[in-house]
Amino acid sequence: MRKKLVAGNWKMHGTLMQNSALLASITAAAPTLDCELAVCPPYPYLAQAQLALSGSLVALGAQSVSEHEFGAFTGEVSASMLAEFGCAYVLIGHSERRGIFGESDTVVAAKFEAAQKAGLCPILCLGESLSERESGLTAQVITRQLSAILDRVGVAAMASAVVAYEPVWAIGTGMTASPAQAQEVHAAIRAQVAVLDAGVANGLRILYGGSVRPQNAEDLFGQPDIDGGLIGGAALVADDFLKICLAAG
Ligand code: PEP
């Protein structure tokens, strides 16, 4: 049985004061929830979050990582640095990284590998754009994005990873994939992994992300291949995030 995971992607939001209140609410509620929880704050707040989450049931994650181990890469943050600050998870290949910062499938795969080498669990984000969906290319895009990872690290690596299906057209737009649309893609992702290793596929957690709200979370999480959520906007409001976590339980 796959335990559901709900992870909050704070993106480039927050202040010390706002984070402190949000983290306090989440850690206080965590023992009453029947799902795993993680929060991914911006890099400068990792130390604050590490301290606030210590001894709690809430895991820490980062939003990106360098594909390089160390060296002259101004502005970059390595996977071992994230591990030192208590990160268990790191988002890899979020559509904003792919789209705005030009991360190719190759770079995403290198980041995935770097994260795992440092002992982090990658949350690999996959998703098609609106025009790709409208052109009937969803399956092709997801297969290509996932193949880039499988080709680089092999299927066994997926045993210590999480996948997040995040249709780009649903991120931050208020347009959610219907439970049936999401389930179809989640099942296809699991099937692609199952061709290589049925056991790994069966244990793989596949989160849905894209305008998840308290009102739609239960229907999405009720689908057989949806194992939790990656939450953006709603993760910044304690009450909404915790209602979504409740729906996952
Ligand atoms: C995200 O950025 O990963 C996300 C899912 O955002 P939102 O929930 O705001 O659509």
What is the CATH classification number for the domain harbouring 104?
3.20.20.70
Contact 62, 91 (CB under 8 A): yes
Indicate whether residue 41 lines ligand 1 (CB < 6 A): no
Looking from the CA of residue 173, the nearest atom of ligand 1 is: 10
| 3 state SS of 191 | helix
Give the lowest-confidence range in 28-32, 170-174, 236-240: 170-174
Alpha-carbon dihedral 210, 216, 217, 218, rounded to 10 degrees: -150
Specify if 69 maps to a domain. yes
Please pick, among 36, 94, 128, 132, the residue that the annotation labels catalytic.
94
Specify if 147 maps to a domain. yes
CA dist 125 and 208 (Å) reads 9
Q: What share of the chain is helix, strand, coil (3-state, %, to 5)?
A: 50, 15, 30
DSSP 38: E
Specify if 13 maps to a domain. no
Looking from the CA of residue 125, the nearest atom of ligand 1 is: 3
Specify if 15 maps to a domain. no
Number of domains in the chain: 1
pLDDT higher than 90, residue 249: no
Q: Categorize the per-residue pLDDT at 1 as very low, low, confident or very high, splitting at 50, 70 and 90.
A: confident
Specify if 203 maps to a domain. yes
Specify if 249 maps to a domain. no
Looking from the CA of residue 164, the nearest atom of ligand 1 is: 3
Specify if 50 maps to a domain. yes
CA dist 93 and 168 (Å) reads 12
**Atom 2 (ligand 1): residue with closest C-alpha?**
232
What residue type is assigned to position 139 of the chain? A
pLDDT digits (tens, 9 = 90+) for 21-52: 999 999 999 999 999 999 999 999 999 999 99
pLDDT digits (tens, 9 = 90+) for 68-100: 999 999 999 999 999 999 999 999 999 999 999
Count each helix (H run) and each strand (E run) in the chain, helices first.
11, 8
Indicate whether residue 182 lines ligand 1 (CB < 6 A): no
pLDDT digits (tens, 9 = 90+) for 124-161: 999 999 999 999 999 999 999 999 999 999 999 999 99
| Enclosing domain of residue 87 | 40-211
Active site residue 186: no
